[in-house]
Amino acid sequence: MIWFIIKRLMQTVPVIIGVTIVVFVIMQLVPGDPAVLLAGEGATKETIEALREQLGLHQPLYVQYFDYVSNLLRGDMGFSLKNNQPVLQEIMTRLPITLELAIFSTLITIVLGMLAGIISAIRPYSILDTVVMVVALLGISLPSFWFGLMLMYSFSVKLHIFPVAGWDSMLHVVLPAFTLGAGGAAIVARMTRSSMLEVIRQDYIRTARAKGVKERVIIYKHALRNALIPVITVVGLQFGALLGGTVLVESIFAINGLGRMIVDAIRMRDLPVVQGGVLVASLVFVVVNLIVDILYRLFNKRIELN
């Protein structure tokens, strides 16, 4: 197992290098000269030229990339064009908010999704199953910006249960996390259901019944653990999709998270911030994938043999 983790960790190194290259290249492809942007309107040719020199834009691309990476390793992501603050600092204040949102959403995705899936699977084709699956289908289909606004309208504006926007207390977390997690929960519910139905037909479930095990214990002890193996992968993938979703949800609920930061930066053409934001988001995704793989392995030891 330790070897597996080490091996898997080593595999992430080229992925991370790849991410930095992609982020770097994309920024090169963005139209417009960073020096012109930085100098601002009405700057003289000399000022721009001097800035180019200072930023090292005359250097060949590979040297620029090398500089970029070595700066990254020192924790230097450059400075925001907007307010001259270090990008890293900005990210560090924003990232925890987004992570918190993402983690709560994932919890909702897992708990709600699996519960719904299991309920459906216990009595397949029953009325309860049909209702749960129709709701799940809606959950997948509803666009999150509309769903978020509806939640906000009902629970904040009308019922005054939750605050409308912002990010101060636990109460603030509920609506955004639910908005973000609902789609994933729906997917997980459908996945859990079909996986459970598949597992329940297996020979070892029949063996458990032949032992006199109660139906409830069969579900939780014998079926669920085997059924969850494919679900874990889906949850991991959902987490990636979630990071993208934060952009929308943070905008709707006016949360100062990483997603909103990137959107604002793009609008302001604040390239260093965009670059840094995208890089960090990608790294988070890589790390989550790593964790999912390790979990998958823990749940399914048979992989070791094949």
Partner 1 sequence: MINVQEQKVLLEVQNLKQYFPVKREKLLQPKLSVKAVDDISFTLREGETLSIVGESGCGKSTTGRAILRLDEPTAGKVVYNGKNILELSKKDLRTLRGDLQVIFQDPFASLNPRQTIQQILSEAMSIQNSVQKELRKDRMRELMHLVGLPEEALSRHPHEFSGGQRQRIGIARALAVNPKLIICDEAVSALDVSIQAQILNLLKRLQRQLNLTFLFISHDLSVVRHISDRVMVMYLGKVVEIAPKHALFDQPTHPYTRALLSSIPVPNPKVQTERILLSGDVPSPINPPSGCRFHTRCPFATELCSSKEPETVEVQNGHYVACHYANDFFSA
Partner 2 sequence: MSKEVILEVKNLQTHFTTKRGTSKAVDGIDFTLHKGETLGIVGESGCGKSITSLSILRLIPSPPGKIAGGEVLFKGRNLVELPESEMRKLRGNEISMIFQEPMTSLNPVLPVGEQIAEAIRLHQKLNKKEAAKKAVEMLRLVGIPSPEKRAKQEPFQLSGGMRQRVMIAMALSCNPEVLIADEPTTALDVTIQAQILRLMKELQERLGMGVILITHDLGVVAETCDKVAVMYAGNIVEHATTETLFETPLHPYTQGLLASLPKIDEDQEELYTIEGNVPSAFNMPSGCRFASRCPLATNLCREYKPELIEHESGSKVRCWVYSNKWQEQEVVV
Distance CA 292, CA 192 (A): 17
CB 299 within 8 A of CB 228: yes
**From the list partner 1, partner 2, none, partner contacted by residue 6 (C-beta under 5 to 8 A by kind):** partner 1
> Pattern of binders to partner 1 over 267-306, x per CB under 8 A?
-------------------------------------x-x
Interface pattern 127-166 for partner 2 (x via CB under 8 A): ----------------------------------------
In the list partner 2, partner 1, none, the entry touching 225 (Cβ below 5 to 8 angstroms by class) is: partner 2
Q: Is 3 in the site for partner 1 (CB under 8 A)?
A: yes
Q: Is 7 in the site for partner 1 (CB under 8 A)?
A: yes
Ranges of H-type helices in 201-270: 203-210, 215-217, 224-252, 258-268
The contact mask relative to partner 2 for 220-249 (x = CB under 8 A, - = no) is: -xx--xx-----------------------
d(C-alpha 271, C-alpha 265), whole Å:
7
User: For the chain, where are the E strands, in sequence order?
Assistant: none
Cα gap 227→198, rounded to integer Å: 8
Stretch that binds partner 2, among 103-111, 186-194, 250-258, 294-302 (CB under 8 A): 294-302
Pick the closer one to partner 1 by CB: 4 or 299: 4
Note whether 123 binds partner 2 by CB under 8 A: no
What letter represents residue 189's amino acid? A
Of 66, 146, 153, 204, which lies in the binding site for partner 2, with binding defined by CB under 8 A? 204
Question: Could you give the C-alpha distances from 292 to 14, 115, 188, in angstroms and in order?
Answer: 18, 20, 15
Q: Which residues of 233-246 are buried (b: 16+ CB within 10 A; e: fewer)?
A: bbbbebbbebbebb
Which residues contribute to the site for partner 1 (CB under 8 A)? 3, 6-7, 304, 306
